[in-house]
Amino acid sequence: MQEVIEELQLDLPKVCMDIEDFIRKTLQKMNKDGTVVGLSGGLDSAVTATLTVRSLGKENVHLFNMPERDSKPIHKKHAKELANFLGVKLKKKSITPIVRAVKGYKLLPIRFIPSRRLRGLLVKFGRSKLISREESNLLENRLHPKAGSWIARGNAYAVTKHRTRMVVLYQYADVNNLMVVGAANRTEWMTGTFSKWGIDHCSDMMPLLHIYRSQLEQIAEYLEIPWCIRSKYADPDIMPGIDNKGELLGNFTLVDQILVASENGFSSEELYNAYGKISVQQILTLKEYSKQMRESPYHKN
């Protein structure tokens, strides 16, 4: 699988230049006055924001942080550090009142626990019991849940926040005639580890959608993104106790190699021999289960 490893190695100056050119051309095509990026404090949005600033200049980029009750303070701090790194003022708006108004927090009983740490411990305990009983992977269950189950409710609890962020960001963009730049990467796109119709799905453009997560790390190093952001876990920061997407999905380098190899037509037997049957089946199952997320809304021609 040496060819797969080589394919994941990027010509970083060229890749970044191509993305920056794509951002400029898309902005001109949409006839907008600038851009806005939802900045979470994580790697995806940090790389997206940095490339957008390199492409258009900091005067044409707005950065928007939208924390809520379950957000970890460290990610808000890192969003601020990235904004300072880019020389762009960071706008902030808490979405807690909106999530509360639509009863998003009532989907799980952890709403009664005031401490974020204790809410996280309860979620971790619940995860262990659910996975043990259903003998399945949490990410697979999320994509094919039983109606009314705790996994279905937990999924609704999480995606409500990203859908709220999408609405808030677009309201700001529409008022200021801005193009919304999304930050999803190809790894989460192909495995369904994003929120359908959420801030990591709905945007005017997704300049990193062809970039796998392990490639994103290469770009971040090349762009000299602050180490505090590059060195931390891929934390979705939407629910206490769910702290590392990589822990649920698997090693990003391995996941990306499986995805690339499968897209290049390698047989199941070749994939099993190279990466192990369990890992391959998990990733290919996620890819199949999440297919509808990438295809819908369905319509007749």
| Residue 209: per-residue pLDDT | 98
Average pLDDT over the chain, rounded to an integer = 90
Q: Which residues pair with 38 in a beta bridge?
A: 64
Is the pLDDT score of 2 beyond 90?
no
Tell me if 33 sits within 8 A of 178, measured CB to CB. Answer: yes
| Residue 298: per-residue pLDDT | 94
Is the pLDDT score of 116 beyond 70?
no
User: What's the alpha-carbon Rg for the chain, to the nearest Å?
Assistant: 19
> pTM value?
0.91
- Does the CA dihedral 219-224-228-229 come out positive or negative? negative
What domains are defined for the chain?
A: 2-295 (3.40.50.620)
Lowest mean pLDDT among 247-251, 277-281, 283-287: 247-251
Residue with tokens 């003998």: 135
Using 50, 70 and 90 to split pLDDT, how confident is the model at 136?
A: very low
Token pair for residue 165?
A: 């962020």
Single-letter amino acid code for the residue at 96: T
| Residue 126: per-residue pLDDT | 54
Q: Could you tell me if residue 35 is left (phi over 0), alpha (psi between -120 and 50 degrees) or otherwise beta?
A: beta
Locate all alpha helices (DSSP H) within the chain, ordered by sequence: 2-7, 12-30, 43-56, 73-86, 96-101, 116-134, 138-143, 150-175, 186-191, 213-223, 227-230, 245-249, 252-263, 268-275, 277-289, 291-295
In the chain, what is the greatest distance between 2 CA atoms, to the nearest angstrom?
Answer: 54
Which one, of 200, 205, 210, 236, lies nearest residue 52 by Cα? 205
Coil/strand/helix, residue 286: helix
Distant-in-sequence contacts of 14-17, Cβ < 8 A, 24+ apart: 15/211, 15/219, 16/51, 16/54, 16/219, 16/222, 16/223
Report how far apart the first and last C-alpha atoms of the chain are (Å, whole number). 40
Burial of residue 1 (CB within 10 Å: 0-12, 13-18, 19+) is middle
